[in-house]
Amino acid sequence: MPIRINKYLSEVGYCSRRVADRLIKEGKVTINGEIPEIGTKVEEGDQVKVKGKKIEKLSKQKKIYLAFNKPVGIVCTTDRR
């Protein structure tokens, strides 16, 4: 399933979507050897490079889960009523 280039770079952990848009505007990103426009979609099998370095999506990325504990009696809110 094709996804936008900025989302692809974000999902593989290279940079945020906004930084990806900036890199695309600066012409530092290529898809199959061609400089894309913002909004260009990447499909499986496309070769994506940033500053000449090949960027690949790992087939099995390890997921990280964070759990937070808020002790009883602690109030954390931005509501000032």
Q: pLDDT, tens digit, for every residue of 14-56?
A: 999 999 999 999 999 999 999 999 999 999 889 999 999 999 8
Angle, vertex CA 10, rays to CA 34 and CA 8, nearest 5: 45
- Bridge partners for 54 per DSSP: 49
| Residue 75's pLDDT band (cuts 50, 70, 90) | confident
Give pLDDT, residue 81.
65
Q: Cα dist. 40→29, 43, 61, 69 in Å?
A: 11, 10, 24, 41
Does this model's pTM top 0.75? no
* pLDDT higher than 80, residue 62: no
